[in-house]
Amino acid sequence: MEGHDITWVSKLPFNDSFTSFLQSDSIPSFLRLGEDGNVFHVYHAILVVLILTVLVFIGYGKRSEDLVPEGRISIRNILEVLVEQLLKLIDNTMGHEGKKFLPLIGTLAIFILFCNLLGLIPGFLPPTDNINTTAACAIPVFFFYHYIGVRRHGWRYVKQFIGPFWPIAPLMFPIEVISHLARPLSLSLRLFGNITGDHIILAMSYGFILALGLGIFVSGIQALVFILLSMMYMSNALAEEH
């Protein structure tokens, strides 16, 4: 991706020293950054977090205990509509017990949505067009749904892995493990692939309002798909033993 080294982040004062620190020997070899690698997606992800934090502070800074919403369109109202829609979606997909997972699912949804949308602004990259960012979103989901499964079912959760009866357990166990491992991988690869492709199309055809519309559409759909699948995995883990 040749175009990637001309964004504003390469002009950051600490970029050079930080990149060469990540490439140096003080980092263990399996974590070390490659020769021509960069960490631009990390800066962009931090930027998204900062944008979201500022939005929340603007929206909720002053009168956070007001129950009555303001009469005009404000940042606070937009945020509340967003969270309300998310709650409705969670309620539809996971049932009433899904509400307590809003912190995780809502965070993922809003973070991924804003990451995807950041790529539509000229000069910015979507952080989600790097596999590390998407994997960082998918792996916590993987551990979390196993955690809630174990917490709900206790040791009986392991039963899901060994199939209906004991003799075929050696056969079922690798099958189950592989099908569970495929989940975080497919979650992260789907988001990464879609956003990379979308960003390339947008970069090739700037000025076409159609590509921008497509970009907004893909950004929303991919964020939606990510949280939908996460919710499906969670409700599968919570479901009763079949």
Partner 1 sequence: MENKKKLFREIGRYGAIGLEMGIAVVIGILVGFWMDSLFNTKPWLTLVFMLFGIAAGFKGLFRVLKYVEKNGLTDKE
CA 242 to CA 7: how far, in whole Å?
Answer: 52
CA distances from 29 to 15, 23, 135 (A): 21, 9, 20
Among 5-13, 14-22, 70-78, 184-192, which window interacts with partner 1 (CB under 8 A)?
A: 184-192
Among 10-18, 66-74, 131-139, 183-191, which window interacts with partner 1 (CB under 8 A)?
A: 183-191
**Are residues 59 and 76 in contact, defined by beta-carbon separation less than 8 angstroms?**
yes
Residues in the chain: 242
Q: Is 168 in the site for partner 1 (CB under 8 A)?
A: no
Q: Between 82 and 228, name the residue whose CB sits nearer to partner 1.
A: 228
Q: Could you tell me the smallest distance in angstroms from the CB atom of residue 42 to partner 1?
A: 26
Between the CA atoms of 51, 137, 133 and 54, what dihedral angle is there, to the nearest 10 degrees? 10
In angstroms, how far apart are the furthest CA atoms of the chain?
66
Exactly one of 12, 182, 200, 210 binds partner 1 (CB under 8 A); that residue is 182
Among 3-11, 55-63, 65-73, 179-187, which window interacts with partner 1 (CB under 8 A)?
A: 179-187
Q: Could you tell me the smallest distance in angstroms from the CB atom of residue 181 to partner 1?
A: 5
Q: In this structure, is the dihedral angle defined by the CA atoms of residues 121, 125, 129 and 134, taken in order, positive or negative?
A: negative
Q: Between 118 and 223, name the residue whose CB sits nearer to partner 1.
A: 223
Q: Could you tell me the smallest distance in angstroms from the CB atom of residue 197 to partner 1?
A: 14
**Are residues 119 and 195 in contact, defined by beta-carbon separation less than 8 angstroms?**
yes
Binding residues for partner 1, rule: CB under 8 A, are: 92-93, 174-176, 178-179, 181-183, 185-186, 189-190, 221, 224-225, 228-229, 232, 236, 242
